[in-house]
Homo-oligomer: A and B are copies of this chain.
Amino acid sequence: MSVSIKDIAKKVNRSITTVSRALNDYDDVSPETKQLIVETAKEMGYFPNTFAQRLQKQKTETIGLVIPTFSPRFSDPFFSELLAGIGNKAADLGFDLLVSTRSPGPQEIETYKKLIDGRRVDGVIVVRTRKQDARIEYLLENDFPFVAFGRTDLENGYSYVDEDGSFGMQLIADHLASLNHRLIACILPPHNLTFTQKRLDGLRNGLANHDIYLQEDYIKWGDLTQRSGYELGGILLDLKERPTAIAACNDLMAFGAMSAAQERGLEVGKDVSITGFDDIPMSEYSHPALTTVNQPVYQIGAMVCEMLIKIIRDEINETQKVLLKPKLVIRQSTGFNHSKIY
């Protein structure tokens, strides 16, 4: 089997204590012994048993992330970037990352309970927050360390990072208004997500500033996938009074809507303007390139992860609330509207 501290102790004729302390660089071990121990440890191929350490220290040095996979064929470039941000930061800070993939529902909260009650992780990251979020309620009840990417209705008592989606959609509203669009439709994410409300409010208020009012039948709810953007985009474009612009609430749905438009022989950016949200890497290389709102997902992942680890290490005690101002990225999927205005 593998080498333990005991084996080293035997070999160098010292106690287990001394070996442990030498390896952890305590200064009540003489430099010679320390060197001897460190060398024989290396030579014997010693690696500490992680679980023994964790049991003793009562810390896991692990954080948990439960990715909500909406469909079985879950394929979202947004999440892989977020994961990279979280994962790289965690590794840099010496933490492991435990990932579960579960679709929202009863199984999801069970997964959280397993992580928390089994003390498998020191803290968790909650993503894609919902207006009423059972996960966050559970974490707060149990006083368990966590950081959220996104807000909830109940905004107090915990740390989060979020982009200011309302502001982002106002930028979109201003942009579309400046391009002479009046008949504007939108494709939204599911109702229960917090950012759906924020983005819709932002769009509505932003347009209101230009005396433009969103009509109810121009508002469609999707599920964030390209497929749903395609289907809903198709419905919107087939309305008797076709909107001149469609604001989708994420890039994937925007791509779907673009595809629907092109299928109908419309030139995107000329006959109809389409906008996204997220600025995933693809949006720069779609055709036409997508006008969207940039959200630094990789950095957000890293930031959320770092905040969580600081909380775990007790380097922070006040709750932190970070709201990032997103930036508008204008590309070719939006253009001036020449059709008559009602």
* Chain A residues near B (Cβ < 8 Å): 2, 45, 47-52, 54-55, 60, 62, 67, 69, 72-81, 83-84, 87-88, 91, 96-102, 111, 117-120, 225-227, 229-230, 252, 255-256, 258-259, 262-263, 280-282, 284-287, 289, 298
Contact = CB atoms under 8 A, between A and B. Distances in A.
Given A77-B77, A225-B281, A226-B284, 9 more contacts: A50-B120, A75-B80, A87-B101, A88-B101, A91-B100, A226-B285, A259-B286, A262-B287, A263-B287
Number of this chain's copies in the assembly equals 2
A154 B329 CA distance: 47
Nearest to A70: B84
A76 B78 CA distance: 8
Contacts of A77: 75-77, 80
A91 B80 contact: no
Q: Which of A60, A83, A84, A102 has the most CB of B within 10 A?
A: A84
A281 to B, nearest CB: 5
Contacts of A60: 51
Contacts of A2: 119
5 contacts: A73-B298, A77-B77, A87-B101, A96-B100, A255-B285
Contacts of A262: 287
Contacts of A225: 281
Contacts of A120: 50, 96
